[in-house]
Amino acid sequence: MREIALPPQALPVPPDRGGGGLYGWITSLDHKQIGIMYLIATFVFFIVGGVEALLMRTQLAVPNNTFLSPEVYNQLFTMHGTTMIFLVVMPMLIGLATYVVPLQVGARDIAYPRMNALSLWLLVFGGLLLYFSYLAGGAPDAGWFSYAPLSEKPYTTTTGVDYWILGLLATGIGTIAAAINLIVTILALRAPGMRMTRLPLFTWMVLVNSVLILCALPVLNASLVMLLIDRQLNAHFFAPQGGGSAILWQHFFWAFGHPEVYIMVLPAFGIISEVIPVFSRKAIYGYEFVAASTGAIAFLSLAVWAHHMFTVGLGRTADLFFAVASMLIAIPTGVKVLNWCATLWGGAIRFTTAMLFAMGFRALLLVSEDDGANALGGLGQVALLADVPGVQPYVHDPARPGASGDAPPRLHLSRPPGLGPLQHDLHRRSVPPGLLGPGVPLERVREPARRPARRGQPVERLDAGMGDAVAAARAQLRSGAPDPGPATAVGPGAS
């Protein structure tokens, strides 16, 4: 086969679009910039949701308050819950994963960069569409769970619920696309030599979390389409007066809603599982158990949704099944807590800012698990704690460590470019190479030798010169230079 050389002028030259400035960020396909834009967007929505919460708390500050009318309070209640779950906590964790996962697995970028950008802008579009309802006749006021038949047309005649449905559909499609992107990146774009058993725990948690998203989000999207058809085309999926079932909506919503609790908190488990070893100067205790317990949590979370429905009359057998499953799911979570405590035991603990956040996370996690096991797993308390009184603390307790307990230590630990010096007391040499920058193939930079820890003594890390070796390997990967051969071990005692 003969090759034909084309003159340089025959090749099309791409137009110069000016890669810098605001336009460069908006049109960017780089996973780091998209991850930062995720965080910026979720922070804006967080401020809006926080203002809504303050307005509600002002109304509840004194009895018989007239600060807000009942209609406005219902709208704020609905918008606050929807904003914090769908526009803040879940996309914030996806943004962190978008930034960090390709670096940890040694990929040049995420698997599908354009799909990654589409996921971000679907989030922004869905949020704007949701808040546009204020200008289009009134915000949704049927609660963030939109129980039928209250959300049906005969009981909610404004267009707020319709905008709520369309906004969540847009964000849901973007979330599913992001989950597919992360799964493909982790499974197909790992650096040579990086086996699944050597993945960072944060990447493990993101992988399981993405699979959980693919199981839970389609259920919500399907139910939203059914509700929209009910409202716009006079169908009767959830309308009892037309032969539908309002209980069916509860089954659909909570089949998504309870896995959503763990979608919000599993990436936080991964972050804490990396922060604690770094500032304890010890390897994570029971790596295999921490990874396996994540899969157990994901599996059990799909089988406990009806503990939100103990008062609907499912029958004694079903109630007992979901009560037992609700208590069983605390076991793999307890395994993680015990592994974190075992990692701390005997380590040289440094209470940096990231470590303090991690300790606060553990305390909030224990409180939330106690709330869940007692309020939602205990049949004797079901009459008093069903629906709002029981769900409110159980949703907020995982959301607080998920949102405020994982992002700050992750940012303090990794300090992405453009966010400035968040923590001056972090020594980069204390952080494993895979945690901060582009993943280096494991055969090029060997793990530094370590000596076993004794009680009360720090682990001795013989990593002199490791920073130079990592920097050289990264520079070689970026330049595309040929492999110079196997790297030699660094540090005292290297042969």
pLDDT for 242 equals: 86
**Domain assignments of the chain as residue spans, ordered by start:** 27-244, 261-415
pLDDT at 372: 52
Q: Are 411 and 97 in contact (CB under 8 A)?
A: no
Checking if the pLDDT of 418 tops 70, the result is: no
The proportion of the chain whose per-residue pLDDT surpasses 90, expressed as a percent, equals: 56
Let me know the angle formed at the C-alpha of 197 by 202 and 439, rounded to the nearest 5 degrees: 55
SS3 readout for the chain: CCCCCCCHHHCCCCCCCCCCHHHHHHCCCCHHHHHHHHHHHHHHHHHHHHHHHHHHHHHCCCCCCCCCCHHHHHHHHHHHHHHHHHHHHHHHHHHHHHHHHHHHHCCCCCCCHHHHHHHHHHHHHHHHHHHHHHHCCCCCCCCCCCCCCCCCCCCCCCCHHHHHHHHHHHHHHHHHHHHHHHHHHHHHCCCCCCCHHHCCHHHHHHHHHHHHHHHHHHHHHHHHHHHHHHHHHCCCCCCHHHCCCHHHHHHHHHHHHHHHHHHHHHHHHHHHHHHHHHHHCCCCCCHHHHHHHHHHHHHHHCCCHHHHCHHHCCCHHHHHHHHHHHHHCHHHHHHHHHHHHHHHCCCCCCCCHHHHHHHHHHHHHHHHHHHHHHHHCCHHHHHHHCCHHHHHHHHHHHHHHHHHCCHHHHHHHHCCCCCCCCCCCCCHHHCCHHHHCCCCCCCCCCCCEECCCCCCCCCCEECCCHHHHHHHHHHHHHHCCCCCCCCCCCCCCCC
Amino acid symbol at 172: G
For residue range 358-384, what is the model confidence (pLDDT) as tens digits? 888 888 887 766 555 555 545 545 545
> What is the pLDDT confidence band of residue 137, given thresholds at 50, 70 and 90?
confident
Indicate the pLDDT class of residue 36, thresholds 50, 70 and 90.
very high
The better pLDDT of the pair 141, 465 is held by: 141
pLDDT in tens, 231-261: 999 999 999 888 899 999 999 999 999 899 8
pLDDT of 489 strictly over 50: no
Query: What pTM value is reported for the model?
Result: 0.77
Tell whether the model's pLDDT for residue 80 goes beyond 90.
Answer: yes
Q: For residue 58, what pLDDT band results from cuts at 50, 70 and 90?
A: very high
Assign 482 a pLDDT band (cuts: 50, 70, 90): low
Per-residue pLDDT at 396 exceeds 90: no
Distance CA 379, CA 382 (A): 5
Q: What per-residue confidence (pLDDT) applies to 434?
A: 43
Could you report the per-residue pLDDT of 82-132, keeping only the tens digit for each?
Answer: 999 999 999 999 999 999 999 999 999 999 999 999 999 999 999 999 999
Residue 168 pLDDT greater than 70, yes or no? yes
Q: Does 15 have pLDDT greater than 90? A: no
Q: How confident is the model at residue 478 (pLDDT cuts 50, 70, 90)?
A: low
Q: φ and ψ at 462, to 5 degrees? A: -90, 75
d(CA 398, CA 390): 13
Give CA angle at 263 (401, 340), nearest 5°: 50
Per-residue model confidence as pLDDT tens digits over 250-295: 999 999 998 998 999 899 999 999 999 999 999 999 999 999 999 9
Sequence-distant (≥ 6) Cβ neighbours of residue 315 within 8 angstroms: none
Number of Cβ within 10 Å of residue 329's Cβ equals: 25
Question: Cα–Cα distance between 410 and 85 in angstroms, integer?
Answer: 20
Given a cut of 60, is residue 186 above it in pLDDT?
Answer: yes
pLDDT (0 to 100) of residue 341: 93
Per-residue pLDDT for 494 more than 60? no
Q: If pLDDT is split at 50, 70 and 90, which confidence band does 451 have?
A: very low
Name the pLDDT band for 203 (thresholds 50, 70, 90).
very high
- For residue 241, the model assigns a pLDDT of 86
Phi, psi at residue 282, to the nearest 5°?
-140, 155
Q: Flag whether pLDDT at 464 surpasses 50.
A: no
Q: How far apart are CA 448 and CA 443, in angstroms?
A: 13
Record the tokens describing residue 388, joined without a space: 């709002």
pLDDT, average across residues 206-221: 96
Give CATH for domain 27-244. Answer: 1.20.210.10
Position 360 scores a pLDDT of 86
pLDDT at 479: 61
